[in-house]
């Protein structure tokens, strides 16, 4: 009648339950099992959220380390110094999460804060790129006084 399965992507363990139509299973028993599954749904979603958050945080730390190594001298020192405490905060929150003493909203805030610092670093490193010949990028240059999209700034009559 019903088959439900779940897979933990972190450990690759899979669990499933199958409810079959047999003479020994009464309607009340089937309904009890379905009700129990509905009750556990919120707990399962919470566990899924926590697992995905821990996985995202660990990946973000690893990618940040790799990006800093790859950027080398191109990453400004002050940006690196701004990233270090954010990375440390995520590491501490992850360690607490592994010990299951973690408020996951604190981990989520730490991850968001680190992502924001990484975006700022990206803007500083890649935001002012110029073509090798010094020519402007692929967009057409704007007319003096013009705005993006080719429109004009209208001045009110005084």
The per-residue pLDDT for range 27-60, each reduced to its tens digit, is: 788 888 888 888 888 888 888 888 899 899 999 9
Element (H, E) at 8: strand 2-8
Judge whether 57 and 110 are in contact, CB under 8 Å: yes
At 31 the pLDDT is: 87
Judge whether 57 and 98 are in contact, CB under 8 Å: no
At 97 the pLDDT is: 79
Alpha carbon distance 122, 119 (integer Å): 5
At 136 the pLDDT is: 55
At 58 the pLDDT is: 93
The per-residue pLDDT for range 81-131, each reduced to its tens digit, is: 999 999 999 999 888 877 776 678 888 999 999 999 998 888 888 776 655
Say which DSSP state 102 is in. -
At 91 the pLDDT is: 92
Alpha carbon distance 51, 84 (integer Å): 24
More confident of the two residues 84 and 11: 84
């Amino acid at each position: 009648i019903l088959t439900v399965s779940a897979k933990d992507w972190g450990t690759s363990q899979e669990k499933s339950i199958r409810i079959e139509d047999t003479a020994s299973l009464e309607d009340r028993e089937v309904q009890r099992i379905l009700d129990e599954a509905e009750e556990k749904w919120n707990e399962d979603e919470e566990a899924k959220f926590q697992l995905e958050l821990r996985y995202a945080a660990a990946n973000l730390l690893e990618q940040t380390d790799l990006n800093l190594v790859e950027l080398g001298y191109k990453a400004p020192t002050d940006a690196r110094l701004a990233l270090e405490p954010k990375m440390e905060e995520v590491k501490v929150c992850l360690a607490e999460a592994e010990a299951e003493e973690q408020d996951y909203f604190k981990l989520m805030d730490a991850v968001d804060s680190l992502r924001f610092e990484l975006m700022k670093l990206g803007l500083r490193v890649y935001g002012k790129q110029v073509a090798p010949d010094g020519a402007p990028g692929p967009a057409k240059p704007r007319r003096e006084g013009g705005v993006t999209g080719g429109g004009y700034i209208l001045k009110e009559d005084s």
